[in-house]
């Protein structure tokens, strides 16, 4: 008994400084707090809780006694409430951001492997909190999408929770070694999920996924080690390594390796075959998780490690990334136009937001980078929505061919409308989150990469043709009398897709948050929160001012639209 008491006392003694510490506020560029309630809550181990609570609950799930076959609701409940808790914690963190604050919040730093210079260093900025929010929303959606998982439910939900924990770990890690560990750790549960529940060709899918993600992980490992060596540092901290300016040749190699890691996971063409197969074959829960969250880590690494710290290399690689983005968007929609499989078509369309994100990174202007980060959030939701709704719809319609799963709007109105919204989200129609983020990407990119921006825009026209084809057949067209009887989505389906639509609509309608008398309430606005970090990150890419107009050239604004030359 006394042993327990002394153990608890020791633990409390260790926890005391954490509990009493205020959130470590960052350097403030401009002291203008504009969000009601910002910086009020002190919670210095918030990030550890967000990362490790799902792991703990995964362990609990794994050691719970096995109920009768097929009764997996208890595991689903654990996964759901864990995710709900994580979302609540993330929202607490999110509301603490205020306009014009740069730097990290909720920082934690503990020495871990001093001999290697590895520190357990966590922290979150505007980019990170947006992705944590995405992870929370996608996590809940993935759990609800797994409502019908009956087979080996315990393992399934435990792996789901571990995947989410790994995602959060990558996002909040400020030490590259820790980031790499979480990055690699995210591979294992996803591969196991695909290998266990990935449909008839699950082994082949899992092998392909492992191969691509393995290459990406190896590339990131090599990049981190090269950066570490180039720095001559004994420290893996992102802040330290971020100040390293390697030679152009080494820098190029590091940049290419980081880009390779990113584009295998996001993914871009020609590294997309795993995504095509997983999104077209796996059950809806895995599809939502992969399309919505884990694949977005590629974009995150691109923003954080390439654009964020390797400025010169980013400039060198930008045209190639722009070209790759254009190729991805155009190729994906051409492939979507040629397939007759509903799920494959949706899987190809789900690649489009990734291409747009990379275009934003390639733009390397403050606005395009802002848009790219926002698109990580919006694109994740859009990809998850279109791939998830196609998976659920084809399952409920008991058909996945465009010929059979046809004319479903009248018989499956809920799922048809949700698929429709997913298509609109991929196209970036207003007032969904992909509109504002896509617009920022385009407006920013036209300054530096006009050719790539035009090419991606042309790809969007083709994407409209592809989505029109999908909707023509599946939603509006004539039903096939030989098709099996379809059943509309269940309540769980409506909820999980509704959460994704809700996220898209909330940020799409109120990107700067709701305001009352000009003061932001409830939500500081995702655009503002993301911008707290990207404004600093992107300052390196802000171009020099153009010559100001000479005083003599003072043409007055035309009062009425009257052009001078006549044809």
Partner 1 sequence: MSLLATGIALAASAASTASAAAQGFKFDPASTLPWAVPAIVGAPVLGYVLILGSVRTRRAAANVAFLTLLVQLVATLLVAWARFRQPSPYQASYQWINIPVAFTGDQRFQGFGIDLSFQLDHVALAALVAVLVTLLCCAAWHRVAARGEQGPVRFQVNAVLLALGAAGVLVSGDAAELLAFWLLAGLATYLLLGHRWGTEGAGQRSRIALAVPFVGDVALLCGVGLLYSRFGSLTWNNLYPALTTTLGVGQKSLTAAALLLFAAVAVRACIWPFTAWLSGTVDAPAASVAMAAGVWPVLAGSLLLRTLPIVGAAGIQAPRGAAYVLGLAAVAGPALALVGVELRRSVLLATSGAVALTLLGMIYPASTLVAFTGLLAVALARTGALLAATTAAAAMRTVDIRAMGGAWSRMPRTAAALLLASVAVALGGLSGAALRPRSLAWIALGAGLALVSLAIFRVYFAVAHGELRRRRAFEPTRVRDAANVVTGAAVAASVMGLLGAALSFFTGWVGFLAAGRHDVAAVGTLVLWTLLPLAGAAIAGAVVLRQRDAGLELGARLGERLGAIWDLAGSAFDGLLSRPGQRAVDVVEDVGLPAVEQGVGRALAGSGWLAGRRLPWVPAVLGAAIVLAVAFGLLSSQGLGR
Interacting residues with partner 1 between 419 and 478 (CB under 8 A): 424, 427, 429-431, 435-436, 439-440, 442-443, 445-447, 450, 453-454, 457-458, 460-461, 464-465, 467-469, 471-473, 475-478
Residue among 414, 354, 341 at smallest CA distance from 384: 354
The yes or no reply on residue 505 touching partner 1 (CB under 8 A) is: no
The continuous run of DSSP H or E covering 563 comes out as none
Q: Between β-strands 515-516 and 105-113, what pairing exists: parallel, antiparallel or unpaired?
A: unpaired
Q: How far is CA 263 from CA 210, 297, 416, 538, in A?
A: 15, 10, 31, 21
Among 35, 119, 146, 528, binds partner 1 (CB under 8 A): 528
Q: In whole angstroms, give the CA distance from residue 376 to residue 295.
A: 10
What residues between 25 and 84 interact with partner 1 by CB under 8 A? 29
Q: Is the peptide bond before 208 cis (omega within 30 degrees of 0)?
A: no
Six-digit token pair at 186? Answer: 């995210």
Nearer to partner 1, 3 or 478 (CB): 478
Cβ density class 108-125: b for 16+ within 10 Å, e for less: beeeeeeeebbbbbbbbb
Nearer to partner 1, 62 or 204 (CB): 204
Polymer length of the chain: 567
What residues between 388 and 407 interact with partner 1 by CB under 8 A? 407
Q: How far is CA 238 from CA 111, 180, 310, 474, in A?
A: 15, 12, 12, 48
Nearer to partner 1, 20 or 550 (CB): 550
Q: 252 and 313 in contact (C-beta within 8 Å)?
A: yes
The continuous run of DSSP H or E covering 169 comes out as helix 153-172
The yes or no reply on residue 527 touching partner 1 (CB under 8 A) is: yes
The yes or no reply on residue 531 touching partner 1 (CB under 8 A) is: yes
Nearer to partner 1, 235 or 370 (CB): 370
| Bridge partner residues of 101 (DSSP) | 28
Among 25, 337, 492, 522, binds partner 1 (CB under 8 A): 337
The yes or no reply on residue 535 touching partner 1 (CB under 8 A) is: yes
CB of 295 to partner 1, least distance (A): 18
What residues between 194 and 233 interact with partner 1 by CB under 8 A? 208, 211, 226, 229-230
Sequence-distant (≥ 6) Cβ neighbours of residue 532 within 8 angstroms:
97, 98, 99, 100, 101, 102, 125, 126
Six-digit token pair at 130? Answer: 């947006």
Nearer to partner 1, 38 or 471 (CB): 471
Among 2, 249, 482, 485, binds partner 1 (CB under 8 A): 249
Specify the 3-state DSSP secondary structure of 254: helix
The yes or no reply on residue 103 touching partner 1 (CB under 8 A) is: no
Size of the site for partner 1 (CB under 8 A): 102
Give 107's Cβ-side CA count (13 Å radius): 15
CB of 250 to partner 1, least distance (A): 4
What residues between 169 and 188 interact with partner 1 by CB under 8 A? none
The yes or no reply on residue 544 touching partner 1 (CB under 8 A) is: yes
Q: 259 and 296 in contact (C-beta within 8 Å)?
A: no
The yes or no reply on residue 247 touching partner 1 (CB under 8 A) is: yes
Nearer to partner 1, 71 or 539 (CB): 539
Among 370, 395, 493, 523, binds partner 1 (CB under 8 A): 370
CB of 339 to partner 1, least distance (A): 8
Six-digit token pair at 232? Answer: 């001559």
Nearer to partner 1, 148 or 312 (CB): 312
The yes or no reply on residue 482 touching partner 1 (CB under 8 A) is: no
The yes or no reply on residue 366 touching partner 1 (CB under 8 A) is: yes
What residues between 272 and 301 interact with partner 1 by CB under 8 A? 273, 276
| Contact pattern from residue 106 through residue 145 relative to partner 1, giving x for each residue in contact according to CB under 8 A and a dash for the rest | ----------------------------------------
Q: In whole angstroms, give the CA distance from residue 230 to residue 349.
A: 40
The yes or no reply on residue 256 touching partner 1 (CB under 8 A) is: no
CB of 39 to partner 1, least distance (A): 19
Q: In whole angstroms, give the CA distance from residue 226 to residue 443.
A: 35
| Bridge partner residues of 341 (DSSP) | 401
């Amino acid at each position: 008994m006394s042993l327990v008491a002394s153990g608890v006392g020791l633990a409390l003694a260790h926890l005391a400084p954490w509990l009493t510490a205020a959130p470590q506020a960052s350097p403030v560029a401009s002291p203008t707090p504009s969000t009601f309630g910002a910086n009020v809550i002190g919670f210095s181990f918030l990030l550890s809780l967000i990362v490790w609570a799902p792991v703990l609950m995964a362990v609990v799930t794994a050691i719970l006694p096995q109920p009768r076959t097929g009764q997996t609701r208890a595991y689903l409940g654990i996964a759901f409430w864990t995710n709900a808790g994580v979302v609540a914690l993330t929202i607490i963190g999110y509301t603490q951001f205020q306009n014009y604050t740069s730097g990290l919040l909720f920082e934690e730093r503990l020495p871990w492997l001093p001999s290697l210079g590895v520190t357990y260093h966590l922290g979150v900025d505007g980019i990170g909190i947006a992705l944590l929010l995405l992870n929370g929303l996608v996590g809940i959606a993935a759990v609800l999408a797994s409502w019908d998982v009956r087979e080996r439910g315990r393992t399934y939900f435990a792996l789901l929770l571990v995947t989410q924990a790994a995602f959060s770990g990558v996002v909040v890690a400020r030490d590259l070694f820790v980031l790499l560990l979480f990055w690699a750790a995210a591979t294992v549960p996803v591969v196991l999920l695909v290998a266990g529940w990935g449909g008839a060709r699950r082994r082949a899918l899992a092998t392909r996924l492992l191969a691509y993600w393995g290459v990406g992980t190896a590339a990131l490992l090599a990049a981190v080690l090269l950066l570490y060596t180039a720095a001559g540092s004994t420290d893996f901290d992102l802040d330290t390594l971020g100040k390293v300016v390697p030679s152009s040749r080494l820098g190029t190699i590091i940049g290419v390796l980081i880009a390779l890691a990113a584009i295998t996971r996001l993914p871009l063409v020609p590294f997309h075959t795993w995504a095509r197969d997983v999104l077209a074959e796996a059950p809806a829960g895995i599809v939502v998780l992969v399309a919505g969250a884990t694949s977005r880590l590629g974009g995150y690494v691109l923003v954080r490690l390439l654009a964020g710290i390797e400025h010169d290399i980013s400039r060198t690689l930008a045209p190639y990334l722009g070209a790759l983005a254009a190729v991805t968007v155009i190729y994906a929609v051409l492939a979507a136009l040629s397939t007759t499989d509903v799920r494959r078509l949706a899987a190809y369309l789900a690649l489009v937001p990734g291409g747009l994100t990379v275009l934003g990174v390639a733009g390397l202007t403050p606005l395009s980078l802002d848009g790219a980060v926002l698109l990580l959030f919006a694109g994740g939701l859009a990809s998850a929505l279109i791939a998830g709704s196609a998976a659920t719809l084809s399952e409920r319609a008991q058909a996945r061919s465009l010929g059979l799963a046809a004319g479903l709007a009248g018989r499956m109105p809920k799922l048809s409308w949700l698929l429709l919204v997913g298509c609109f989200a991929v196209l970036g129609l207003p007032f969904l989150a992909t509109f504002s983020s896509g617009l920022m990407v385009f407006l920013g990119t036209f300054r530096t990469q006009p050719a790539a921006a035009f090419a991606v825009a042309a790809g969007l026209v083709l994407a409209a043709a592809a989505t029109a084809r999908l909707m023509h057949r599946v939603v509006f067209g004539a039903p096939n009398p030989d098709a099996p009887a379809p059943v509309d989505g269940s309540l769980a389906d409506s909820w999980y897709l509704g959460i994704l639509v809700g996220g898209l609509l909330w940020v799409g309608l109120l990107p700067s948050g709701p305001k009352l008398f000009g003061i932001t309430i409830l939500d500081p606005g995702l655009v503002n929160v993301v911008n707290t970090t990207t404004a600093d990150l992107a300052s390196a890419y802000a171009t020099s001012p153009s010559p100001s107009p000479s005083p003599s050239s003072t043409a007055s604004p035309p009062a009425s639209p009257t052009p001078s030359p006549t044809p």
